[in-house]
Amino acid sequence: MAKIQERPGKKALAALVRTRKPRALLFKDDGETPNNPKLPLLFYRGPVALPDKYDPAAVFENLFLAHGWRMAWRDSIYDFLHFHTRTHEVLGIARGDARVEFGGRKGKLLYVKAGDVVVLPAGTGHKRLSKSRDLLVVGAYPGKGAYDEPKPGDVDHDTAKARIAKVKMPAQDPIYGKNGPLKRLWNPST
């Protein structure tokens, strides 16, 4: 019989968040993948504890929603290169692990595992290269932005860059809220 896991409440959720500094990676436009010219990808290693008591995907869903990142989904990461021109995206690794190429073919290969979080600014290319059989990812988007997922060549490159430049800044870091590292690292005036 499958074990029933709970959804964490607000108080329990706060106890699951651990202070971590993100690794910031800024990717250049490579002519195929636009990436984001101003905002770095943020890679948080293990900022969320995932005890067996709780549904790990629910932990990320509740956490992201508490900080204004909505339209959550549960799935994997696509095994083809794509990006988003109309919204930023957060990926929480709820179960398993994967090797993911971020930033396009000239980007960076990262190993992600349960408890990790990756925040992708609009335009950042991403593609899963390998995964464990149990990989489960929760994704979400800030505010009420429009969603798209073109592959290189699906959209005119200059049009993609123009759309990316118009994407609004999120109101909060998806993990730490109003005073999280995203607000400082994604500050266009710095």
Domains belonging to the chain, first-starting first, are: 10-178 (2.60.120.10)
CA dihedral 157, 158, 159, 164 (to 10 degrees): 90
pTM of the shown model: 0.95
Query: What is the spatial distance between Cα 111 and Cα 108, in angstroms, rounded to a whole number?
Result: 10
- Output the DSSP codes for 21-66: PPEEE-----SS----SS--EEEESS-B---TTB-HHHHHHHHHHH
CA-only gyration radius of the chain, Å: 16
Please give the pLDDT value at position 2: 59
By the 8 A CB rule, do 41 and 25 touch?
yes
First to last CA, the chain: 54
Per-residue confidence (pLDDT) for residue 144, from 0 to 100: 75
pLDDT tens digits for the chain (190 residues)?
A: 556 788 998 899 999 999 999 999 999 999 999 999 999 999 999 999 999 999 999 999 999 999 999 999 999 999 999 999 999 999 999 999 999 999 999 999 999 999 999 999 999 999 999 999 999 999 999 977 678 999 999 999 999 999 999 999 999 999 999 999 999 999 866 5
pLDDT of residue 28: 96
- 56 — phi, psi (to 5°)? -60, -35
| 58/56 Cα distance (integer angstroms) | 5
